[in-house]
Amino acid sequence: MSNESNSKRMSMIVTKGSLDWAYPPFILATTAAAMGLEVTMFFTFYGLTLLKKKLDLSVSTLGNPAMAMPMFGLHIGMPNIVSAIPGVDAAATAMMKNLIKKKGVASIEELRSAAVESDVKMIACQMTMDLFEYSLDDMIEGPVLGGAATYIENATKCDINLFI
């Protein structure tokens, strides 16, 4: 990426692994890379899920009062209590995936491949890999292992640092 006219840098700490929260980091990483920035993503805690070879992401209505699905021309809220009913979160996930397709929104798999193709650097947090008993073999090709100091050193050289 050093031949780009814009050699600014961005880093991101990715901590969440649900379908909805997977979007912001990958959208920003791929767009920044397309704009010529050098991008580093540091995956920790549930964010590690986003590096697994086979993605099986879902959304939950629990603790998400802002989640309102467009249905029958209305926006239907999802009270916390309904997520306790078996199948509700699965239905919400299916509905979200349906909308994603219908509206021409990229899938996470697509954005993740685009990130890898555009040389976005990915660091998997060693400590949470140990904690959740993951190995790099569980993950896509590309991520390297690192810890807090690795991230901080990189972040000091960045123009944008985000925590998602």
Partner 1 sequence: MADQLLDAKGLNCPLPILRAKKALKDVAMGGTLEVLATDPGAVKDFEAFWRATGNELLASKADGKIFSFVIKRLS
Does 99 interact with partner 1 (rule: CB under 8 A)?
no
| 160 forms part of the interface with partner 1 (CB under 8 A) | no
What residues form DSSP beta bridges with 74? 71
**In residues, how long is the chain?**
164
Nearer to partner 1, 107 or 128 (CB): 107
Which uninterrupted H or E stretch holds 10? Answer: strand 9-14
Per DSSP, 93 falls in state H
- Per CB under 8 A, the list member of 55, 62, 95, 106 interacting with partner 1 is 106
72: tokens are 């029958």
Binding of residue 24 to partner 1 (CB under 8 A): no
With residues binned 3-state (H G I as helix, E B as strand, rest as coil), the percentages for the chain, rounded to 5, are 45, 20, 35
Residues 25-84 that bind partner 1 (CB under 8 A): 27, 30-31, 34-36
**Contact call for residues 61 and 83 (beta carbons, < 8 A):** yes
Residues 2, 71, 103, 137: which binds partner 1 (CB under 8 A)? 103
Decide if residue 109 touches partner 1 (CB under 8 A). Answer: no
Burial class (CB in 10 A: 0-12, 13-18, 19+), 1: middle
Least distance to partner 1, CB of residue 110, Å:
8
Q: Which residues bind partner 1 (CB under 8 A)?
A: 4-6, 27, 30-31, 34-36, 103-106, 111, 114
